[in-house]
Amino acid sequence: MPLDAPLNSLGFAKAPADTRVVVAMSGGVDSSVVAAQLAEEGYDVVGVTLQLYDHGAALAKKGACCAGLDIHDARRVAEEMGFPHYVLDYENIFKDAVIDEFADSYLAGATPVPCIRCNERVKFKDLLETAKDLDADCMATGHYIQRKMGPQKAELHSATDATRDQSYFLFSTTQEQLDFLRFPLGHLASKSETRALAAKYGLPVADKPDSQDICFVPDGNYASVIEKLRPGAADPGEIVDMEGNILGTHRGVIHYTIGQRRGLGIGGRADPLYVVKLEPDTRRVVVGPKEALSTAIVPIREINWLGDEDMTSRADWHLKVKIRSTRPPRDAILRPLSATEAQVELLTPEEGVSPGQACVFYAPEGSRVLGGGWIWRGY
């Protein structure tokens, strides 16, 4: 093909049939539509599904990603569309890279986001390397986020549909990974468009419900998972106010998160109390009034920066940040301390900022994602 040949839909100057793309298939409707769409466009598609934890136990966990039923669903889609499909056993990698840290973070009084670590350490690291070993030109996923070519390099942008946007969970995608990744669904206006495509391709998962829980905690009871992994994690302790006065007892620090109001068992007070700090070393849960949750200065580390300029080239950056996946980006000032650490000042203080959560950076205007880091200290 001549050098000035037009680019195909994945950005390569060659025919789709000559372009191999590994599709990370969870068994859900999103990644299934990506695989089917690329197969229909004539790409050399290879589907890969990760078995992330015990297959036998997974069979009963219908609502979770990468469970036994989902592996079966991914295989059915591949058979329907006529491309090869492989299941890779990543159970040990997943436990070491994601589950163990999840448990240890809760024990340390943090509120982890394991889906980010899974993308960072498993899907976009080990699986991406596997895709390269398979001689793929790129790897595609069903994430709702956009990759756009900017004047200098490939850029990460939030999804068109703000209600489906997954940029919060993908901030740690490096530039090298972004060069190899593709996100064919990020431009869609709504999830209904994805389901319409699934119906168009006749996929058996067209009406499959979205998974809601952390994949290895399909019933939402993360405390029971942590207790199994770390016996003694649910040792009881004291609930104290901000002056250290004992107000009651609790059944384990792992059952509480910053900002929690319900379930404290210390009713009968005129003003509601909220969890403002967790002290795992003393097994204390510190509670206080709502205003004690308000935070303006947020320390960040393990920063992944995707901007065009070096992050440390400026003393401060006026941008927008997200400190919870469910909250919209807010105006903030980023003050770099090193290439991987910074202080973020929220121009409007927010409540419930918790160590272990992510702080994701966005351009002040437009949809570009500039990276992000991890909130790492209590207040």
> CATH no. for residue 132?
3.40.50.620
Is the pLDDT at 261 greater than 80? The verdict is yes
The three-point CA angle 370-121-255 to 5° equals 90
Task: Sort strands 317-322 and 294-305 into parallel, antiparallel or unpaired.
Answer: unpaired
**Domain-terminating residue out of 288, 305, 334:** 288
Q: Is there a domain that residue 44 lies in? A: yes
**pLDDT bracket for residue 378 (50, 70, 90):** very low
Q: Are residues 363 and 262 in the same domain?
A: no
Does residue 355 share a domain with residue 257? Answer: no
Nearest by Cα to 65 from 163, 166, 184, 148: 166
pLDDT score of 134: 96
Residue 165 has pLDDT above 80, yes or no: yes
* pLDDT surpasses 50 at 257: yes
Q: What single string gives the DSSP state of each residue in 208-273?
A: PPPP-S-TT-TTS-HHHHHHHHSTTTT--EEEE-TT--EEEEES-GGG--TT--TT-S----SS--
Domain containing residue 310: CATH number: 2.40.30.10
One domain for residues 315 and 371:
yes
**Residues 219, 176: Cα–Cα separation, whole Å:** 36
Quick one: tokens of 206?
Answer: 């067209």
pLDDT, one tens digit per residue, over 86-106 is: 999 999 999 999 999 999 888
Q: Which domain holds residue 309?
A: 294-375
CA 65 – CA 51 distance, rounded (Å): 10
Nearest to 326 by CA among 110, 194, 162: 162
**pLDDT of amino acid 58:** 39
Nearest to 105 by CA among 363, 282, 297, 357: 357
Is 303 a member of any domain? yes
pLDDT at 379: 41
Comparing 72-76, 127-131, 226-230, 305-309, the range with the smallest average pLDDT is 226-230
Give burial (CB, 10 Å; 0-12/13-18/19+) of 202: exposed
256 and 355 fall within a common domain: no
**Lowest-confidence range among 256-265, 330-339, 362-371?**
256-265
pLDDT of residue 220: 76
Q: Note whether residue 34 is domain-resident.
A: yes
Joined tokens for residue 330: 């807010």
Q: In this structure, is residue 27 part of a structural domain?
A: yes
User: Given this model, what pLDDT does residue 47 score?
Assistant: 97
The per-residue pLDDT for 374 is 97
The reply to whether 281 and 365 lie within a common domain is no
| Residue 77: closest CA among 24, 19, 146 | 24
Residues 241 and 315 in one domain: no
Q: Which of 153, 176, 200 represents a domain boundary (last residue)?
A: 200
Q: In whole angstroms, what is the distance from residue 39 CA to residue 32 CA?
A: 11
Specify the pairing of strand 274-279 against strand 154-158: unpaired
Q: When comparing pLDDT for 233 and 169, which is higher?
A: 169
* DSSP H helices in the chain: 29-40, 55-58, 68-81, 91-94, 100-107, 114-118, 128-133, 175-180, 191-200, 222-229
Mean pLDDT along residues 54-80: 68
In a shared domain, residues 262 and 300: no
CB 373 within 8 A of CB 334: no
Q: Flag whether pLDDT at 7 surpasses 90.
A: yes
Among 47-56, 134-143, 286-295, 316-325, which stretch is predicted with the lowest mean pLDDT? Answer: 47-56
Q: Do residue 248 and residue 371 come from a single domain?
A: no
Please count the structural domains in the chain.
3
105 residue type, one letter: S
**Residue found by looking up tokens 């024990």 in the block:** 107
pLDDT(57) > 70: no
Between CA 78 and CA 170 the distance in angstroms is 26
Q: Does residue 131 form part of some domain?
A: yes
The mean pLDDT of 250-255, rounded to a whole number, is: 88
Q: How confident is the model at residue 232 (pLDDT cuts 50, 70, 90)?
A: confident
Per-residue pLDDT tens over the stretch 110-132: 888 999 999 999 999 999 999 99
Amino acid 226: pLDDT:
87
Residue 228 lies in a domain: no
pLDDT at residue 3, as a whole number:
58
- Residue 233: per-residue pLDDT: 78
- Tell me, yes or no, whether 266 and 315 share the same domain: no
pLDDT value of residue 280: 87
Q: Any idea what the CATH number is for the domain that residue 238 is in?
A: 2.30.30.280
pLDDT at 33 exceeding the cut of 50? yes
- Residue 304 within a domain: yes
Rg over CA atoms, the chain: 22
Exposure b/e, 333-357, CB count within 10 A at least 16 = b: bbebeeeeebebebeeebebbbbbb
Choose one of 273, 288, 303: the last residue of a domain: 288
Residue 132: the pLDDT is 96
Judge whether 49 and 70 are in contact, CB under 8 Å: yes
**pLDDT (mean) for 140-166:** 96
Per-residue confidence (pLDDT) for residue 230, from 0 to 100: 86
Q: Are residues 65 and 196 in the same domain?
A: yes
- Can you give the pLDDT at residue 377? 74
- Residue 90 exposure: Cα atoms within 13 Å on the Cβ side: 23
Question: How far is 173 from 306, CA to CA, in rounded Å?
Answer: 9
Q: What is the mean pLDDT of residues 46-55?
A: 83
Neighbours of 129 (CB within 10 A): 12
**Do both 333 and 360 map to the same domain?**
yes
Q: What is the mean pLDDT of the chain?
A: 90
Q: What is the pLDDT of residue 2?
A: 54
Q: Averaged over 23-50, what is the pLDDT?
A: 96
Q: Which residues are catalytic?
A: 118, 215
For residue 214, being part of any structural domain is answered with no
Question: What was the pLDDT predicted at 363?
Answer: 98
Q: Are residues 261 and 132 in the same domain?
A: no
| Residue 241 confidence (pLDDT) | 93
